[in-house]
Every structure is written in structure tokens, then in C-alpha cells.
Structure 1
């Protein structure tokens, strides 16, 4: 065994002992030396771990652990099949930005010149992708050489999902899977839905029909039987008009809620706000009325979410509040006693409530 092969084997063994979840995934990638002309650092095709011997030689064992785990997570998170229509260069960067903070939190040491951006912790590659500029000057850490054979890609994805689940279960039993890595595994193994479907699910959950025992008219007799009755929902829709969400995006969101509104009895109160409520607020739409924007909003100032929640305090407690925003603003200190859904454009976090990625 050469010195380079020995270094790779040592790094893999340390991962198995210290980070059994990552170690189990790394074991699934046979190691292959690659020609420097096409592999400057490391690479994967979801079947092998390829490495440039000169690159590995220049790293210490701790840094090699990071490289091995990085390639294994690309495979386990099915980055080979999730790109879809996206630009490959930006997608490759987004995948790196999703993985590297996880490895850093695990205590692994990145190689030199590997940039780990702030603010992408806990985000998926799909959430990070829209935040990457088309002319971004950064370079992916490694080479992703996924093929075009869709059947092969689907087979590999299935294999890696099974490996991910198995590795997570073993690590959990050993008490060595927690923090961000555990949340990532839990998130990835759950079915993922686009924001429209998620919003529909939350709104329809609120609209469950129920039975009422109200006394019927005298013509129906004196007996009281349960009858099915749909209660009217009270929904607040708040729009961030500070300029962070475009008019087109606002129109798309309003159209989606109008479509859902037609499937349930819901009265909608619309609020628009940047750092203060817009003139004309609130606008009220009864269940039989179409929900549409009252016109072009005048905004563009700073962002505070407090005026919306202060306004709602003066109203009947809603069944749900949906807020369209980039989440870059001042939150109320206390969470209200009604459910709040944040439809978020960009990568900012929310202080409380249910966050749904808008992009």
C-alpha cells in the first residue's frame, strides 16, 4: 500500500470509528486514483470515489476525512438526480454549500481554499440555488460526473436512499447521530413537496368539516340529529412590500391562495406592510369573492413584521396567517396563539412559525 493509499485508508477508518454515520456511507464508495487532467481534486459518479493522488498527498488525514465524507454525502443526498432543469455549475455550487456546513458542524477539517458561506446552514441545495448569482466566481470543491442514463440514475438514487436510512439507523442506535446531520437525514427521508402543495395541505387541514347539533326548523320535526356543517375559515394574508418580493411573485402567491380559497369557505383579510401598514389596509374578501390584489402597492422602505401582528390583535383571532416575505425584518418577540405560515423567498430563517421555501 502506497503512502497515499494508506492515508486514505486511515482517514476512512477514523470516520468509521468517530463518525459511524459518515463512515458507513464512505465505505460504499470504492476508491479509484484518477488522472490529474480531468480530476484536479476529487470526484464521484455515485459509484466510486475518484481522487487526484497529488491533491490527497498535500492534505493531512483530517482534511482527507472531510473530502471522503463530502463525496459520500453528494451520493447519499441524491444530488445526481435532483438537478432537473437547473444550471449545472450553479447546482454544483449549491450542493457544495449545502454539504460543507454540515461537515464543519460535525467537527471535520476542510481542505485549504474550500469556502464555506455563512447563512446556508440547514438549507437544501434547492433552497440555496436561487441565491447563487449566475456570474459567481467561486468554484465547486470537486467534480460531479453524473451520467445521462436516467434509469441508472434512478437505480443509484434508490440504492443510496437505502444506504442513507441504514447508516442513520445504525448511528442513532450507537448514539452518534445528532444535531444538524440528524435533522438533514430526517428532512431528506421525508417526502418533499413544492410550496404550493405544502400550502394547500396546511390550508385544507384547517377546513375540516364538522357536525353541528343546532335545532332544526319546526317543519323538520322536534328530533335533533347531527348534520354536517362547514365552518367559515378566517385567514389573514400578509404581503411584504418592502421590495424584496416582486410584483410577479406576489401575483403568483395570491392566485394560488385564490385557487385554494375556492375549495373551502374562507374569508380572507389582506394586509400589506413594509415597516408600516400600507394605505388602505385591510382589504376583506368574503367567501364568494375572488381574492386578488387591490392594485399596485406603494412600499420599498425597511421591513418590520410587528405592524401586521399588532393589527391582527385588534381583529377576531384568525384560523391561519400566511406571510409572503424574504424574512429579513423585525419579528415580534412573542409567537401569537394562532398558526403562522411564512412563505419565504431566499435563505433567511424565521423566529417562529412554519417556514415554507417560496423559490
Structure 2
């Protein structure tokens, strides 16, 4: 009988207990900053320097080498891993003449600290009672060098036997996460100590059920957000509306180096590995909130997203530095004092003229990345939800400015006040802008009083002349314009109806008797001169095929019965080739659509 095959992929009980103990340390407020900054290695091979009878060895490079097959309880792994982290946090990794004596002195003080902390379950060799004949590691080290290591203080390390449980000299910044932070292990332990004290106070106050239960209460980003809500009325309402997401996995997936904002989801993403302090977090939160409140995403208007983001960053950061909010971050901060007083649009034009200088700058999200996260959801900015959010953000910023002034919270840059007040003003409707453009070509007609018989008379007294005001017939000559209507399959019927309705109402109100109407898809359809009243009624639209508009423009320019100075209105959705128009013209596009070329005439958008 053949032997049974061993089942594959069985869980390793030794590794399971190790990882569970490590997760407990990562959730403990005292050890979380250190645990997030080192690398845990329990692989087999020559690279693992942990002795056969040891548990874990710490190195100055930020790696904890654990025994790959040793079995122990989760509580024991929690204890020995905390022991190794404390060696790093207490600054024990330094050059000495007697390494064995120094290691024994350090292990004695770490063991006493963990006993007082009552964290985990120590191994059997560390369960005994002992007294320390010195007040610090240096003094105990000198005693050991002179008198030898005491028997009850020997073998308290995690490497087993006479092996040292830490190696190397930690004289440089962190090795494992040095690309994010230059903090030393001692500074990280100090942060953990402050977090642990804060968590203990929260437990005593009933805010947390146990130590480290809520990480969100004491992170730098959350504390900065709370400061805006309680102490800074300009951005307090917006800060209350946004959630802070501090997840390294999400930031890695979204390629976020420091921070980014999602205006639709109302979330600000912070990379915890950026290690920002509270002052820097205040600056970053204010930066992202101003991006949203000033509607930089919807003001993109066909510009290059990255260059527009860089231009907005220069303007916002200049304001924040002038206002003294927080501390300027070391990574992703763009500031140039020579750009003070300029708008984002003017800075964008300057950047476009010097692309080599501004191409590879780093925003808060990273190099060549936008910290305003744009979702691929169509014309979201012009949807009902997008409009509601824009109005909500405008209202928050406007009310915040009012409260800021009432509470006399300090002066604000004039450019910031101007932009906030400008957003509070309702935009001019597109049909009003279109009518203003038409008024440049069609001045109001001067009417004269006449007794000429009207075409419609009263039956009771048809012979009585009745005066009325009529326009001069000579002034009506040449009072017309051309409409080139894109009737391809991509054009929305509602957009066509809105555009034709606006043209009809304007023509009737401005005494334009007829309009030259041309439909264009892949073929040109000349409808001739159409009365304004007919456009307002049911009109049969021809086309709904491809999109070739240039032949229609050429047809209008060749017409002998069309005025040489007559304007041309081109209604399209932007899915067309480059157009060459020699006469006065304008474009009418749906909101959120753009022309694939630089327009020489004005562009109006149907909302």
C-alpha cells in the first residue's frame, strides 16, 4: 500500500504564533511607530542570523531576524519582539569595547521595563526575580566590566546563550523606511510613548475601551483635523465633512507619497509612512481642503491636469505660508515667493512657457501625479451629485470666511478672499453669454411710427387708420446669421433642443427674421433660410451619421446671398477634426466637452 501523500500548504503553527504576536505589537500605541519602521524576517537560509537556540536578533538596519521554526506561544513572541524593539528604541546599538557586557546590561534594563509594563509572557529564563545594582545601562555596564556579569543577570536576552541579541551601530537614520523619514529609533519610541499616554487618558475618560483601541484618536492627521474643526473657522466646516484615511496599502495602490484628496468620496488620504507631525499635517489638510473648496478640479477646463495641479499648488502653498498655518512639509511642497499675488490661471500660463523647468516637480501625491484624485465616471462635475457637492463646498467656504471675520481670527491673503467671494457669485447663464455675443453684431433696431395698414384689421371699422411702430425695412437687410449644427450620432437630442430653442428665442427678441441653417454629419444638408418661428416649433433634423464639419463651413463662406460680415454659430459636441473658419464665429458645446484644437472664437457651454 502506497504511503499517503502529505497535504500541502498546511499552516505553520510556529509562524502563525509569531505573526499574531507581531500584529499585537503593531496595534500597541507604544510600539506601533517602531513596528511600522522595521522589517520582520523569519525565512530559512544563511541570511537569517538568529542562533539555533534563540528567538530574535535585531540589527541596526531595521531588521528583526526571528527563528524560522521555533514554536512558542503568542504571548511569548509578543514579549521577545517587544524586547528587540526596545533595544532599538533605547539606543542600545552603539559602539562599545565589551559587547557581551554591554548586551547583558541592556537586556537587564529592557527585561525590567517589560516586567513593569506587563506585556506578554516572558520565557522561562526571564521569569526570575532580580535586583539591578545601577540606575542606568552605562553604570551597570561599568560594573559588569569590572566585576563580571552577575549570574542572575546573565542570559536575559532573546538570542539564547551567550549570543548578543542586537548587532550593528544605529548611527544613521532608519534603513528600512529611510525614503519616508529621517527619524531615529529613539524619536519613534518617543512618539509611541506620547501615543500610549494619550490612549491611557482616553481609556480613563471612557473614549477607548482599552489601550490602543482607536488609532484614529491620536494620529497627527486626526489631531490636525480636530484643530481645524475647533479652532479655525475658515476651514472648520470642510474639515468636518472629510474623513481622514491613513492606510499604507491604499496609498501604495493609489501611488500617494504624502497625501491626496477625493472630493467625491469626501476623503483625504494620508500616507502613514510619510511620518508627518501635527504641524505638517495641518498644512497638508488645509492644502487639500482649499483644492476642493476653490473647485480646482472643475476649473480644469481642458488644461493639462498635472500642470494645472502644479499651478494650483504654487498658489495655495503661497497663501498657507503667508497665513502661517502649520509647517511646510519636506516632501511634495511647491513654493515660489516670486509668484505671490498671481492666480492659478496666470501661473499655469507661465508654466506652459517653461515646461522644462516645471515638468518633473513633485506634488503631495508624488512626481508627475495630481493630488486631486479624478474618478473615471463621465461628466461627474456636471451631474446632479457633482453640482450638489460643488454648492456644498462653496457654501462651507463662504460661511467659513464669514465666521473667520466675525471672530477676528486674523488677516487672510487678498487673493484667497477674492476667489472665495467670486465663487459665491452665481455664474452667468450660457444663453445670456450667447446673447451678449450676438449683440455685438445685431444692434437694436430703431422703430418708426407709421399709419400704414396692418395685415390684420378690425372687422368693425376696417377703414380707420391705426398707427403702430415698425422697424425700418432697409435695416432688416443682411440681419441674419448662420448656424452650423452637428447632427452626428454622438450629439445628444436634449442638447440640440436647448441650442435651437435659445437661437429661436434670441432671433425673435432681436428682430432677426431668418437664420441660415445647415446640418452636418458625414454629409452637408443646406436647409436654406429658416424663419425664427419655425426653429422654435417642430424641426426635422437630418443626419445622425459621422462628423465632418469643414464642408459645411466652406459652404457658408461661399454663399453669395449670405452677408460677408454675418457671424457663424457652430454647435457641436467636440468630436470633430480641426476646423478653419475665416469669418466671425463662436462655438456652442455641451458642458464638460472640449474642442480638440485651439479655438479662435469664443466657446460657450450648454449647462
* Secondary structure of the structure 2 residue equivalent to 1:74: helix
Cα drift, residue 263 of structure 1: 0.4
Alignment partner, residue 319 of structure 1: 566
* 8 Å Cα contact 2:501-2:535 kept in structure 1: no
Cα drift, residue 348 of structure 1: 1.6
* Secondary structure of the structure 2 residue equivalent to 1:282: strand
Alignment partner, residue 554 of structure 2: 310
Cα drift, residue 293 of structure 1: 5.7
Cα drift, residue 155 of structure 1: 2.9
Which has the higher relative contact order, 1 or 2, with Cα contacts under 8 A spaced 6 or more apart? 1
Cα drift, residue 132 of structure 1: 11
In structure 1, runs of 5+ residues without a counterpart are 10-25, 80-93, 121-125, 135-143, 171-183, 213-226
CA RMSD of aligned residues (A): 5.7
Alignment partner, residue 178 of structure 1: none
* 8 Å Cα contact 1:70-1:103 kept in structure 2: no
Cα 1:146/1:256, change in 2 over 3 Å: closer
Cα drift, residue 66 of structure 1: 6.7
Cα drift, residue 287 of structure 1: 5.6
* 8 Å Cα contact 1:340-1:353 kept in structure 2: yes
Q: Find the aligned partners of 2:432 and 2:239 in 1 and give their Cα distance.
A: 45
Q: Find the aligned partners of 1:164 and 1:76 in 2 and give their Cα distance.
A: 15
Cα drift, residue 73 of structure 1: 2.9
Cα 1:113/1:260, change in 2 over 3 Å: same
* 8 Å Cα contact 2:363-2:371 kept in structure 1: no
Cα 1:133/1:71, change in 2 over 3 Å: closer
Alignment counterpart, residue 502 of structure 2, candidates 239, 248, 256:
256
Alignment partner, residue 436 of structure 2: 201
Cα drift, residue 191 of structure 1: 5.8
2:603 maps to 1:355: yes
2:577 maps to 1:330: yes
Alignment counterpart, residue 39 of structure 1, candidates 244, 258, 262:
244
The Cα offsets for residues 181-240 of structure 1, whole Å up to 9 and x where unpaired, read as xxx99996986222222222222443213669xxxxxxxxxxxxxx98583321111111
2:254 maps to 1:72: no
Bigger-Rg structure (1/2) = 2
The aligned runs of 1:183-198 (5 Å cut-off) are 192-198=427-433
The Cα offsets for residues 323-348 of structure 1, whole Å up to 9 and x where unpaired, read as 22111211234x42313233345422
Alignment partner, residue 282 of structure 1: 527
Alignment partner, residue 542 of structure 2: 297
Cα 1:272/1:351, change in 2 over 3 Å: same
2:109 maps to 1:109: no
Q: Find the aligned partners of 2:500 and 2:492 in 1 and give their Cα distance.
A: 12
* Secondary structure of the structure 1 residue equivalent to 2:289: helix
Cα drift, residue 52 of structure 1: 5.9
Alignment partner, residue 487 of structure 2: 241
Cα drift, residue 254 of structure 1: 1.1
Q: Find the aligned partners of 2:480 and 2:575 in 1 and give their Cα distance.
A: 26
Q: Find the aligned partners of 1:164 and 1:283 in 2 and give their Cα distance.
A: 58
Q: Find the aligned partners of 1:146 and 1:193 in 2 and give their Cα distance.
A: 16
Q: Find the aligned partners of 2:417 and 2:390 in 1 and give their Cα distance.
A: 29
Q: Find the aligned partners of 2:421 and 2:276 in 1 and give their Cα distance.
A: 35
* 8 Å Cα contact 2:485-2:520 kept in structure 1: yes
* 8 Å Cα contact 2:572-2:587 kept in structure 1: no
* 8 Å Cα contact 2:363-2:369 kept in structure 1: no
Alignment partner, residue 321 of structure 2: none
* Secondary structure of the structure 2 residue equivalent to 1:39: strand
Give the paired residue count. Answer: 274
* 8 Å Cα contact 1:271-1:277 kept in structure 2: yes
* 8 Å Cα contact 1:323-1:341 kept in structure 2: yes
Cα 1:241/1:354, change in 2 over 3 Å: same
Cα drift, residue 130 of structure 1: 4.0
In structure 2, runs of 5+ residues without a counterpart are 1-186, 192-218, 225-231, 247-258, 315-360, 405-410, 448-469
Q: Find the aligned partners of 1:240 and 1:117 in 2 and give their Cα distance.
A: 37
Alignment counterpart, residue 269 of structure 1, candidates 496, 516, 527:
516
Cα 1:108/1:290, change in 2 over 3 Å: same
Cα 1:235/1:159, change in 2 over 3 Å: farther
Q: Find the aligned partners of 1:97 and 1:250 in 2 and give their Cα distance.
A: 25
Cα drift, residue 158 of structure 1: 6.2
* 8 Å Cα contact 1:211-1:229 kept in structure 2: yes
Cα drift, residue 273 of structure 1: 0.6
* 8 Å Cα contact 2:364-2:371 kept in structure 1: no
* Secondary structure of the structure 2 residue equivalent to 1:200: helix
* 8 Å Cα contact 1:238-1:273 kept in structure 2: yes
Q: Find the aligned partners of 1:288 and 1:104 in 2 and give their Cα distance.
A: 50
The Cα offsets for residues 69-112 of structure 1, whole Å up to 9 and x where unpaired, read as 332232344x9xxxxxxxxxxxxxx6597896432345551426
* Mean CA deviation greater in 343-352 or 108-117: 108-117
